């Protein structure tokens, strides 16, 4: 039913699948709740339906992942992003709060893996030993980052600069 309600939009199906795979309880009512929300979004305005479906995934993100996801909006569209640089940026911005036994880098890597597991960030390239080297964010998910960041007044200056600078290098 959920896939049908996504009207065959592959990215929406994948993102909703990522959302449901991370649900803590995985109770039937949780699935029904997501299904009913997807359906209500589809029934409304056709032009904004896709963005609204994707925003469900943002709304269900744990608080500690929201800033990391919104930060993806500073990168230009179709930009291949170095994961090691991205994790350092998350740490430098103060988005990563490690529990005592783990380092900042280990926690940042966990956050990254969680976001890729939810299909909000896509792995682009791996190195020879299988570690993720670069990633990308789908342009529709980037638009969601920018929209939500504006609504929350998150990184306003960085977002404005990234929208006007076409060759931002990280």
Shared domain check, 127 and 114 = yes
Q: Is residue 169 part of a domain?
A: no
Q: Exposed/middle/buried for 99, CB within 10 Å: 0-12, 13-18, 19+?
A: exposed
Closest CA to 3 of 12, 91, 77, 73: 12
Give the pLDDT band of residue 98 (cuts 50, 70, 90).
Answer: confident
Q: Give pLDDT, residue 170.
A: 44
Chain mean pLDDT for the chain: 77
**Beta 122-126 vs 81-82: how paired, if at all?**
unpaired
Q: Give pLDDT, residue 81.
A: 96
Which has more pLDDT, 167 or 77? 77
The predicted-structure confidence for 66-87, as pLDDT tens digits, reads as follows: 999 999 999 987 789 999 999 9
Q: Is residue 170 part of a domain?
A: no
pTM: 0.69
Shared domain check, 136 and 76 = yes
Q: What percent of the chain has pLDDT over 90?
A: 35
CATH code, domain carrying 144 = 1.10.10.10
Shared domain check, 130 and 49 = no
Range of the domain at 143: 63-164
């Amino acid at each position: 039913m959920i896939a049908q309600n996504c009207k065959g939009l592959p990215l929406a199906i994948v993102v909703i699948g990522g959302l449901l795979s991370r649900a803590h309880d995985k109770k039937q009512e949780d699935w029904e709740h997501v299904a009913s929300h997807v359906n209500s979004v589809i029934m409304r305005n056709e032009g904004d339906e896709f963005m609204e479906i994707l925003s469900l995934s943002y709304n269900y993100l744990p608080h500690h992942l929201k800033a990391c996801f919104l930060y993806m909006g500073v990168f230009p569209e179709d930009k291949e992003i170095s994961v090691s640089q991205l994790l350092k940026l998350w740490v430098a911005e103060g988005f990563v709060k490690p529990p005592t036994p783990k380092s900042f880098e280990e926690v940042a890597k966990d956050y990254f893996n969680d976001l890729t597991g939810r299909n909000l960030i896509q792995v682009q390239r791996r190195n020879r030993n299988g570690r993720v080297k670069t990633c990308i964010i789908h342009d529709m998910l980037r638009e969601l980052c920018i929209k939500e960041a504006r609504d929350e007044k998150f990184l306003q200056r960085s977002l404005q600069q990234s929208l006007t600078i076409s060759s931002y290098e990280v």
